[in-house]
Amino acid sequence: MPFPRSALSIVCVLALPALSSPVAAQAQGHWTLSIEGDLSAFLDCLEGEERTLISAHRGGPSPGLPENAIETMDAVLAATPAIMEVDVAASSDGVLFLMHDDTLDRTTTGNGEAAAQDWASIAALKLKDADGWVTPYAVPKLQDALRWAKGRTVMQIDFKRSAPYEDVIAMIRAEEMAQNVILIAYSVAAAKKLHDLAPEMLISLSIERPGALAEAEAAGIAREAIVAFTGIRLPRPNLYAELDKADVEVIFGTLGGSRSIDKQLDRFGIDARYAELGERGVDIIATDRPRAAARALADAGRLPEAGQCGVSRESLD
């Protein structure tokens, strides 16, 4: 017999590890990424210091902490400096909110198509973690997530089909977060549209072969606006070297399904490979295991440290 919703929430909260509790995280302080002026300069600085940055996929969910939740991202920043990748959708009445799936069923207590619901209906739901446990946390508005991130971190914005580029960009500008976001594009056409709409913002564009950067530039996308997403399957040191010469930062994803690099490193106990990716030219690792990746990078002296390039660690002392 399944637990009632309230019981699930209680079990979920009790199961949280101490560091993952937002209350405990607040007590221990947080890492912050302070972007003063230009985001590109911040990324260049970390590259110059031979540091590798982590991007927490869907905000870095873990048991009791659901994906695309402010509380989850807050807990990650208690553990490690990181940027946050989130998914943005829109309700039927035009409210922008964080959610990956087209439907509500997997990640919330609701059901049906998310974009067909008005915001009042979505706001009444609770988020579920990856194992289906109901948490006390609600679906966040993009506006609230941006306000939480300001002065703390950088957000990578993945657009869902219901979220108009224009509306998301307008919200980012209204919250004065243009230098604290990276907009995600999966094609040159999408990147060109984003670049035309928001030339002051960085764009993560899929570049997985030599010559792709030149094609993007030929389409009218400024090189200075591009961060190169180089795939999730096979590291390409030669491509990283080419992008480094062009002064374009490299993202590589270890995330994914059951056959992802994250899963393989966890299965075989070889987390040191995260640091090897940094040594081979990856500037940002997009991962479903931000804490494990951070430990490996720290052990290798590649994790950003307090005092470097605007990275700091809050303390109660």
Residue 27 pLDDT more than 70?
A: no
**Residue 196, token pair as written in the block:** 């035309």
Region of poorest pLDDT, from 12-16, 174-178, 180-184:
12-16
Residue 17 pLDDT more than 80?
A: no
Query: What is the mean pLDDT of the segment spanning 161-174?
Result: 98
Query: What is the mean pLDDT of the segment spanning 107-121?
Result: 98
Task: Look at residue 29 in the predicted model and tell me its pLDDT.
Answer: 80
Mean pLDDT of the chain: 91
Residue 174 pLDDT more than 80?
A: yes
Task: Look at residue 28 in the predicted model and tell me its pLDDT.
Answer: 60
* pLDDT tens for each residue of 54-97: 999 999 999 999 999 999 999 999 999 999 999 999 999 999 99
Task: Look at residue 24 in the predicted model and tell me its pLDDT.
Answer: 37
Query: What is the mean pLDDT of the segment spanning 102-107?
Result: 98
Query: What is the mean pLDDT of the segment spanning 283-309?
Result: 97
> If DSSP states are collapsed to H, E and C, what string results for the chain?
CCCCHHHHHHHHHHHCCHHHCHHHHHHHCCEEECCCCCHHHHHHHHHHCCCCEEEEHHHCCECCECCCCHHHHHHHHHHCCCEEEEEEEECCCCCEEECCCCECCCCECCCCEHHHCCHHHHHCCCEECCCCCECCCCCCEHHHHHHHHCCCCCEEEEECCCCCHHHHHHHHHHCCCHHHEEEEECCHHHHHHHHHHCCCCEEEEECCCCCHHHHHHHCCCCHHHEEEECCCCCCCHHHHHHHHHCCCCEEEECCCCCCCHHHHHHHHCCCHHHHHHHHCCCCEEEECCHHHHHHHHHHCCCCCCCCCCCEEECCCC
Residue 52 pLDDT more than 60?
A: yes
Q: Which fold has domain 5-313?
A: TIM Barrel (3.20.20)
Task: Look at residue 292 in the predicted model and tell me its pLDDT.
Answer: 98
